[in-house]
Structure 1
């Protein structure tokens, strides 16, 4: 029954509590990205964080709660570049900016990318509702936008959905298969610069409308 009183406020976390939660989440990110959800244990997370298992359970209900917290944070960050694609911007520039940001994120956040990839490979048991609601809505919106740009001749003819899949596949390869990339191209700085130039050229050639000159990196 509504008694007219405002709901109780969630207690604010102390500086130590915030620091410990961050410590746990960072440790869990290492463990989950290496071992996947099924292979990870609370004991491994506790060891990685330098905390006791009871201390971990003081902040989180269990392994799944930690995993879901990480995935929710990751989804918000991972989708931001796609959300920021401006319908009023120059189509080719907007898409190339998105591709560049996705590649930069793969270089900067390989653990986060592998965490998400592992969840999807397992059938998205914890992220299914988010994929069906948030991601699907955003995906459909951006596909419609790209289709409009193609229709008006501002982009080369391309299937919007498969274009986005291709962008994800190419850029996230550098995160999800980081160990393989580092063996095959051990000079990391050169490999990264080469990736940026290659991806820029690849997608710019694909997306530039017929009759337009193609700028290469």
Structure 2
């Protein structure tokens, strides 16, 4: 006869626990985006969150666990603009729409962009698996799609991979170098509309096939 106790149902996470966990991640995003992984400390995260350090460690094993959680959440959003590129759409409009989505991400999620940039600058020690299994196949597929559009004469010929890199560089600049941009262009309300108009012209001129 089996006298072992019945399995206990998993305890649900309370609203307070969910709120505190979200609070910690929000604070950590602020700290990591400002100081990078190496410069950030649990004490800084605790202060930013308005919680004690032991309270932080109740929810996460340590700084790395918080950082990995943020990176995991980020990667989903990071891939979405490229995934939306439609192989049945007009090639030039699809590329320009992708540029707009990436620029909007820089406007809306500047801290996430800097978090990603800091991780890459350190050699991607915690994000390497995502780059291999998520980013790499997606970028290869979209580069192949862009290459096919070029072969069909629907886009001007250029290197698809370097095109994607240049889109990243020109859009993410506004988040990763925001301090510099804000000094050089103090009218913050004009920065992103101006950037969108400029980049749309830039990539249309680059990619419009010659008559």
Bucket of the pairwise TM-score, normalised by the shorter protein: over 0.9
Change over 3 Å in CA distance of 1:193–1:63 after alignment to 2: same
Offset of residue 11 of structure 1: 4.0
For this pair of structures, how many residues does the alignment match? 205
CA offsets per residue over residues 135-189 of structure 1, 9 Å max, x none? 1110111111000000001111011100000000000000000000000000001
Whether 1:192 and 2:196 are equivalent positions in the alignment is no
CA offsets per residue over residues 50-75 of structure 1, 9 Å max, x none? 00001101111110000001011111
What is the rounded CA distance, in whole Å, between the counterparts of 2:114 and 2:8 in structure 1? 38
Aligned-CA RMSD value: 1.3
* Counterpart for residue 25 of structure 2: 25
Q: 5 Å matches for 1:1-217?
A: 11-211=11-211
Tell me the secondary structure at the aligned position of residue 31 of structure 2: helix
Offset of residue 12 of structure 1: 3.1
Change over 3 Å in CA distance of 1:114–1:10 after alignment to 2: farther
Change over 3 Å in CA distance of 1:58–1:197 after alignment to 2: same
CA offsets per residue over residues 31-58 of structure 1, 9 Å max, x none? 0001000000000000000000011011
Structure 2 segments unaligned to the other structure (5+ residues): 1-6
What is the rounded CA distance, in whole Å, between the counterparts of 1:100 and 1:36 in structure 2? 27
TM-score by length of 2: 0.94
Change over 3 Å in CA distance of 1:121–1:156 after alignment to 2: same
TM-score by length of 1: 0.92
What is the rounded CA distance, in whole Å, between the counterparts of 1:9 and 1:150 in structure 2? 57
Offset of residue 89 of structure 1: 1.0
What is the rounded CA distance, in whole Å, between the counterparts of 2:68 and 2:160 in structure 1? 30
Q: Which moved more, 1:41-50 or 1:8-17?
A: 8-17
What is the rounded CA distance, in whole Å, between the counterparts of 2:67 and 2:9 in structure 1? 25
What is the rounded CA distance, in whole Å, between the counterparts of 2:67 and 2:152 in structure 1? 43
Structure 1 segments unaligned to the other structure (5+ residues): 1-6, 212-217
Tell me the secondary structure at the aligned position of residue 155 of structure 2: coil
Tell me the secondary structure at the aligned position of residue 210 of structure 2: coil
CA offsets per residue over residues 95-137 of structure 1, 9 Å max, x none? 1111000001101111000000000000000001111111111
Tell me the secondary structure at the aligned position of residue 22 of structure 2: helix
